[in-house]
């Protein structure tokens, strides 16, 4: 891609960007939220047409008017939100729209055989061509997308934040898949905010900033600090804000023997001024616990003070807030302005508060346009609106489920500072994060869940090994 430029609504979001990917390489594209990464990839995939610049594949100049044309030219893009049909089988999805036909009928067995071979070539044994997509985990659906890309003979595979919805152990599987693709000579373009992944996988890294390319370099020539400097344009200390110095205050929320279909015997206090980290493996019940405390999926047994909320509405009324991990379910009004979205809960709780714009600045909404429609924001910026929406209400207890997922490194630091400030002002905070360094760095103590029960508690500054041990021990 050479000199790619693109404007939306008169704003230049890509400015003469060059990008090159060689056969068999993983080329990572990194940058802050709103830098233009997804837009550049959508241009490659024929979703958007560039205003300027050229694209060449195998030395031949191409111009895509439609995603199907890009697909035919060998470009496959795997979005975070998959395009699979849940009620169809794996094989049907892989061959959607180009089913093999024999004697006028769809040749199911040919389709299933071919799909089976593709899955085997990817080392996938946990499901088969006849399984319904709706029964598959996110990671398995990703494999289906990759199988589809292979069946289309893709030469270039784009992955836009592929690990954002994966559990830790699934991330390892994705690494293996990516390596299988490059071993076949496929070029993988890989977008992620997790720098660990970038250094694990990438051969080369291109950094975008405000729509322009600031660098392309061999991954081996950079370290985290250097990469962050390129992305953010300044030094960024890799430290978390200091933990609470004062002992925590009174318990603002207490549960004794809390239970429901997914949780058992939960005893937990969340006290004023503390950040409690909630750790556990995928499926251990972390999200379920946050939802039960909030009332969205209530406890059916046990005692809770100040009250046991039976619905989200009751939770909010009791002074509890929940930032869920699922942005879609967060009820952002996509066609409305950022500012109105940020005020959604405040208005519902009849607690209009001043200072929205300042808060949006603090979570580093980029570009800082409170009047922008939410649907036009990049993924990470939508997440910041969700955070602002709850922080503005300042509930007494705030539960965060993966608060910084999809958020860039610079903005992450800003959000961490804000969380610590809220705690210092007397809020009780519970935080779930699959990124252990973040969980450990932020928490005053860490509660570990296992199979829906509390397996134990660890003090601030415990090691990743200690957390994992407690989470996995049987």
Ligand X SMILES: Nc1ncnc2c1ncn2[C@@H]1O[C@H](COP(=O)(O)OP(=O)(O)OP(=O)(O)O)[C@@H](O)[C@H]1O
- Residues lying near ligand X in the complex (CB under 6 A): 8-9, 13, 31, 33-39, 367, 376-381, 408
Q: CB of 358: closest distance to ligand X in angstroms?
A: 20
Provide the β-strand partners of residue 327: none
Q: CB of 373: closest distance to ligand X in angstroms?
A: 8
Q: Does 74 bind Mg ion (CB under 5 A)?
A: no
Compute how many residues bind Mg ion; rule: CB under 5 A.
3
Q: CB of 35: closest distance to Mg ion in angstroms?
A: 8
Instruction: Tell me whether residue 283 or residue 414 sits nearer to ligand X (CB atom).
Output: 414
Q: CB of 178: closest distance to ligand X in angstroms?
A: 19
| Residue in the block written with tokens 């993966």 | 402
What are the CA-CA distances from residue 85 to residues 36, 141, 181 (Å)? 29, 10, 24
Q: CB of 211: closest distance to Mg ion in angstroms?
A: 13
Q: Does 38 bind Mg ion (CB under 5 A)?
A: yes
Per-residue interface string for the shown chain with Mg ion, residues 219-258, x marking contact by CB under 5 A: ----------------------------------------
Q: Please give the residue whose beta carbon sits closest to ligand X in the complex.
A: 380
Instruction: Tell me whether residue 195 or residue 440 sits nearer to ligand X (CB atom).
Output: 195
Provide the β-strand partners of residue 321: 398
Instruction: Tell me whether residue 33 or residue 151 sits nearer to ligand X (CB atom).
Output: 33
Provide the β-strand partners of residue 101: 106
Instruction: Tell me whether residue 145 or residue 161 sits nearer to ligand X (CB atom).
Output: 161
9 interface partner picked from ligand X, Mg ion, none, CB below 5 to 8 A per type: ligand X
Is residue 299 within 8 Å of 317, Cβ to Cβ? Answer: no
Instruction: Tell me whether residue 33 or residue 284 sits nearer to ligand X (CB atom).
Output: 33
Tell me, what DSSP letter sits at residue 284? S
d(CA 139, CA 8): 33
Contacts of 268 (CB under 8 A, 6+ apart): 253, 254, 255, 258, 289, 293, 447, 454
Instruction: Tell me whether residue 367 or residue 437 sits nearer to ligand X (CB atom).
Output: 367
Segment 310 to 339, residues that bind Mg ion, using CB under 5 A: none
Q: CB of 345: closest distance to ligand X in angstroms?
A: 22
Q: CB of 195: closest distance to ligand X in angstroms?
A: 13
d(CA 402, CA 387): 11
> Strands, E, within 336-444: which ranges?
397-401, 428-432
Instruction: Tally Cβ neighbours within 10 Å of residue 264.
Output: 16
Three-class DSSP category at 56: strand
Segment 364 to 403, residues that bind Mg ion, using CB under 5 A: 378-379
Q: What is the dihedral of CA 450, 455, 456, 461, to 10 degrees?
A: -20
- Length in residues, the chain: 474
Instruction: Tell me whether residue 41 or residue 467 sits nearer to Mg ion (CB atom).
Output: 41
Three-class DSSP category at 297: coil
Q: Please give the residue whose beta carbon sits closest to Mg ion in the complex.
A: 38
Phi, psi angles (nearest 5°) of residue 99: -65, 135
Instruction: Tell me whether residue 41 or residue 428 sits nearer to ligand X (CB atom).
Output: 41
Q: CB of 106: closest distance to ligand X in angstroms?
A: 36
Residues that bind Mg ion (CB under 5 A): 38, 378-379
């Amino acid at each position: 891609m050479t000199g790619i430029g693109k404007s939306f609504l008169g704003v230049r979001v890509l400015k003469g960007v060059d990008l090159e990917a060689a056969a068999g390489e993983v080329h990572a594209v990194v940058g802050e939220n709103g830098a233009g990464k997804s837009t550049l990839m959508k241009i490659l995939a024929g979703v958007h047409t560039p205003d300027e610049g050229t694209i060449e594949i195998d030395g031949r100049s191409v111009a895509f008017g439609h995603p199907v044309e890009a697909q035919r030219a060998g470009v496959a893009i795997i979005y975070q939100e998959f395009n699979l049909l849940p009620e169809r089988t794996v094989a049907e999805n892989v061959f959607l729209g180009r089913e093999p036909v024999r004697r006028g009928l769809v040749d199911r067995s040919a389709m299933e055989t071919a799909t089976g071979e593709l899955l085997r070539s990817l080392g996938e044994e946990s499901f088969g061509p006849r399984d319904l997509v709706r029964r598959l985990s996110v990671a398995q659906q990703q494999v289906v997308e990759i199988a589809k890309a292979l069946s289309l003979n893709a030469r270039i595979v784009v992955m836009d934040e592929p690990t954002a919805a994966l559990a830790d152990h699934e991330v390892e599987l994705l690494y293996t898949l990516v390596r299988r693709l490059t071993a076949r000579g496929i070029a993988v373009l890989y977008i992620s905010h997790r720098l660990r992944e970038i250094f694990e996988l990438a051969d080369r890294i291109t950094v975008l900033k405000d729509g322009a390319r600031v660098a392309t370099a061999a991954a081996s020539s950079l370290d985290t600090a250097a990469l962050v400097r390129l992305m953010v344009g300044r030094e960024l200390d890799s430290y978390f804000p200091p933990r609470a110095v004062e002992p925590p205050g009174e318990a603002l929320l207490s549960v004794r023997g809390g239970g429901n279909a997914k949780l058992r015997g939960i005893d937990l206090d969340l006290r004023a001024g503390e950040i409690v980290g909630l750790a556990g493996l995928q499926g251990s019940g972390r999200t379920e616990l946050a939802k039960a405390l909030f009332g969205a999926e209530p406890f059916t047994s046990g005692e809770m003070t100040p009250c046991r909320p039976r619905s989200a509405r009751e939770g909010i009324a009791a002074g509890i807030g929940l930032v869920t991990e699922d942005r879609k379910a967060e009820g952002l009004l996509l066609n409305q302005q950022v500012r109105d979205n940020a005020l959604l809960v405040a208005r519902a709780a009849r607690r209009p508060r001043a200072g929205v714009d300042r808060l949006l600045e603090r979570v580093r909404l980029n570009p800082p346009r409170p009047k922008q429609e939410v649907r036009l924001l990049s993924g990470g910026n939508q997440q910041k609106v969700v955070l602002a929406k709850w922080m503005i209400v300042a509930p007494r207890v705030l539960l965060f489920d993966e608060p910084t997922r999809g958020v860039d490194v610079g903005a992450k630091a800003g959000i961490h500072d804000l969380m610590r400030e809220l705690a210092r002002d007397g809020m009780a905070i519970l935080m779930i994060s699959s990124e252990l360094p973040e969980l450990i760095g932020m928490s005053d103590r860490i509660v570990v869940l296992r199979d829906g029960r509390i397996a134990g508690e660890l003090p601030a500054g415990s090691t990743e090994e200690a957390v994992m041990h407690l989470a996995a021990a049987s």
